[in-house]
Amino acid sequence: MRLDRRRFLLASAGLASSLGPVLAQGYGQAYKVENDEGRPVANMRLPGEIVGEIPALRGVTYIGPADAGTTLYEFFDYNCPYCRKAAADMASLSESDPALRIGLINNPILAVQSAQAAKVALAVQRKLGSAAAWSLYRTLLAKPGRIDGPGALQAATKLGVTSGEIETIADSEDVRLALKAQMRMAADLGLSATPSYVLGNTGLLGHPGPKALARMIAASRRCDQVAC
């Protein structure tokens, strides 16, 4: 089946409507943490039983050692302007902290085109693995302008796979269910902002910047909290 615009629009709209309302969460400060500009970062304690289900999600793109003691999850949308800055900072964090594991989770809540791109990325992850999907994530979020399915597909073909094969996988039931599960996880955790992060049992709303994230990661290692 072809990944045409009309069918993608219908599929993406159906996916969004099937998720239902986001669970109500307070956007306060469970911990007193600041972003790189010294402003408070909205954060909240998350239910441990739900956070514990994240590793079982299908289609998560991981970078960093599988046995890492600390994993930072980013929930993102390809058309979120703040996610563009976050993507560059995720790359810097990965390079500067080789003991850190980063998990990328799709949460395309801003546009139908975001869901299109997410499906292509999930197809790449399924076909070529996390290293290729990580490369695609960095490529797409470094591009100016709106990111959509055709643009993502064009970028994906440069990774050494045909557009027809990627389209077939992106249009599969496995990818649809994987994307639905990732979006449902974000909704269940109350992560309605993009990007949002999960570090331990704490949810962080918005991008605090690389220095703030590094401080919170270091605190998590010391005392199992984003602030000691």
pLDDT of res. 6: 39
pLDDT of res. 28: 63
pLDDT of res. 85: 95
Structure tokens of 194? 């993009």
Strand (E) or helix (H) holding 101 = strand 100-106
Question: Residue 161 to residues 2, 38, 123, 139, 153: CA-CA distances in angstroms?
Answer: 16, 44, 11, 16, 10
Domain 5-17+28-223 sits in CATH at: 3.40.30.10
In whole angstroms, give the CA distance from residue 66 to residue 158: 27
pLDDT of res. 29: 77
Q: Are 122 and 175 in contact (CB under 8 A)?
A: yes
Per-residue model confidence as pLDDT tens for the chain (228 residues): 344 443 443 444 344 433 333 333 445 678 999 999 999 999 999 999 999 999 999 999 999 999 999 999 999 999 999 999 999 999 999 999 999 999 999 999 999 999 999 999 999 999 999 999 999 999 999 998 999 999 999 999 999 999 999 999 999 999 999 999 999 999 999 998 999 999 999 999 999 999 999 999 999 999 999 999
Neighbours of 222 (CB within 10 A): 9
Phi, psi of 176 (to 5 degrees): -60, -45
| Angle subtended at Cα 95 by Cα 175 and Cα 99, rounded to the nearest 5 degrees | 85
**Beta carbons within 8 Å of 152's beta carbon, 6+ residues apart:** 78, 116, 117, 120, 121, 136, 140
pLDDT of res. 192: 85
